Chains A and B, each alone.
Chain A
Amino acid sequence: MTYEAVIGLEVHVQIKTRSKVFTRVGAGYGHEPNTLTDPVVLGLPGALPVMNKAALDAIIKAGLLLGCEIAPVCKWDRKQYFYPDSPKNYQISQYDQPICVGGAVEIELPGAARNIMGEHKKIPLTRIHLEEDVGKLNHGATDSLVDYNRAGTPLMEIVSDPAMHSAEEAYAYLTSIRATMIYGGISDCDMEKGQLRCDANISIRPVGQTKLGTKVELKNLNSISFVRDGIEHEIKRQIAVLERGGVIVQETRDYDGMAGTSQSLRSKEEAHDYRYFPDPDLLPVEVDAAWKSRIQAECPELPFAKQRRFQADYALPYTLTSVLVWDRALADYFEAAAKLSGKPQAVGNWIANDLLREIGNAKIELAATKVSPAHLAALVQLVESGAVLTNAAKEIFTEMFAAGEMPEAIAEKRGLKAAPTDSNELEQWCRDSIAANAKALAEFKAGKDSAINAFKGPVMKAAKGKANPKLVDETLRRLLASS
Chain B
Amino acid sequence: MSALHFQTIAALADQLAEKKLSAKELTQAVLARTKATEPRVHAFNFFDEADALFGAVASDTRRAAGLALGPLDGIPLGLKDVIAVKDQPLTASSKMLANFVSPYDATVTTKLKAAGAVLHGRLNCDEFAMGSSTENSATGPTANPWDLARVPGGSSGGSAAALAAGSAIATLGSDTGGSIRQPAAFCGVVGLKPTYGLVSRFGLIAYASSLDQIGPFARTVEDAAIVLNAIAGHDERDSTSFRTAIPDYRAELAKRRGPWKLGIPREYFGEGLDPEIGAAVERAVAFYQSQGCEIREVSLPHTQYCLDTYYIIATAEASSNLARYDGIRYGHRSKNAKDVVDLYFQSRAEGFGAEVKRRIILGTYVLSSGYYDAFYLRAQKVRTLIRQDFLNAYKEVDALITPTSPIPAFKLGEKSDPLAMYLCDIYTIGVNLAGLPAISVPCGFTKSQLPIGVQLIGQPFQEANLLAIAQAYERGHEWSTKNPNL
Contacts and interface: CB of A to CB of B under 8 A. Distances in A.
A46 B200 CA distance: 11
A282 B209 CA distance: 10
Interface stretch (B218-226, B233-241, B436-444, B459-467): B233-241
A372 interface: no
Given A50-B237, A87-B329, A275-B367, A43 B324 contact: yes
Contact of B324 (A48, A89, A280, A282): A89
Contact of A39 (B103, B208, B328, B367): B103
A50 B204 contact: no
Most buried by B among A48, A50, A144, A281: A48
B325 to A, nearest CB: 8
A337 B163 CA distance: 78
B147 interface: no
A146 B328 contact: yes
Contacts of B237: 48, 50
Interface SS of A by simple majority:
loop
B259 to A, nearest CB: 37
A80 B83 CA distance: 25
B201 interface: yes
A82 interface: yes
Contacts of A146: 328-329
B100 A88 contact: no
B243 to A, nearest CB: 12
A458 interface: no
Interface in A33-76: 39, 42-51
A253 interface: no
Interface stretch (B13-21, B315-323, B470-478): B315-323
Contacts of A50: 236-239
B320 A80 contact: yes
Contact of A42 (B202, B329, B368): B329
Contacts of B203: 46-47
B239 A282 contact: yes
B97 interface: yes
B323 A281 contact: no
Contacts of A47: 202-203
A46 B106 contact: yes
Interface in A88-145: 88-90, 144
A80 B209 contact: no
B84 A45 contact: yes
B102 A281 contact: no
B368 A275 contact: yes
Contact of B329 (A43, A46, A82, A283): A43
Interface SS of B by simple majority:
loop
Contact of B326 (A39, A44, A45, A89): A89
A281 B209 contact: yes
A43 B328 CA distance: 11
A167 B54 CA distance: 69
Contact of B239 (A46, A89, A90, A281): A281
B400 to A, nearest CB: 25
A280 B317 contact: yes
Nearest to B341: A82
Given A42-B329, A46-B203, A50-B239, A90 B84 contact: no
Interface string B219-258: 0000000000000000011111000000000000000000
B376 interface: yes
B376 A48 contact: no
Given A84-B340, A280-B209, A51 B239 contact: yes
Nearest to B348: A82
A280 B344 contact: no
Contact of A49 (B83, B239, B317, B368): B239
Nearest to A82: B344
Contact of A48 (B238, B341, B364): B238
A283 B240 CA distance: 7
A314 interface: no
Nearest to B212: A280
Interface string B66-83: 000000000000000011
Nearest to B201: A48
A277 B372 contact: yes
A89 B341 CA distance: 13
B147 to A, nearest CB: 33
A78 B204 CA distance: 19
Given A51-B239, A78-B320, A46 B206 contact: yes
A384 B210 CA distance: 72
A273 interface: yes
Nearest to B316: A277
B92 interface: yes
Nearest to B376: A277
Interface in A281-339: 281-283
A43 B322 CA distance: 10
Interface in B328-345: 328-330, 340-341, 344
Nearest to B331: A45
Most buried by A among B239, B328, B330, B367: B239
B340 to A, nearest CB: 6
Given A280-B240, A281-B239, A283-B240, A46 B202 contact: yes
A49 B324 CA distance: 14
A408 B251 CA distance: 80
A46 B326 contact: no
Nearest to A275: B367
A283 B320 contact: no
Contacts of B422: none
A277 B320 contact: yes
Contacts of B320: 78, 80, 90, 275, 277
B90 interface: yes
A395 to B, nearest CB: 61
A45 B239 contact: no
Interface string B353-377: 0000000000010011100100010
Nearest to A24: B237
A144 B97 CA distance: 23
Contacts of B369: 273, 275
Given A84-B340, A275-B368, A45 B102 contact: yes
A307 B169 CA distance: 74
B205 interface: yes
Contacts of B100: 45
8 contacts: A39-B103, A45-B97, A46-B82, A46-B201, A48-B202, A275-B319, A277-B316, A281-B239
Given A48-B237, A273-B369, 17 more contacts: A45-B97, A45-B102, A46-B83, A46-B204, A47-B203, A48-B202, A51-B239, A80-B367, A84-B328, A87-B324, A88-B323, A89-B323, A89-B326, A90-B320, A275-B319, A277-B376, A281-B240
Interface of A: 39, 42-51, 78, 80, 82, 84, 87-90, 144, 146, 273, 275-277, 280-283
Complex A-B, nearest 3 residue pairs according to Cβ-Cβ distance, in ascending order: A89-B323, A280-B209, A280-B210
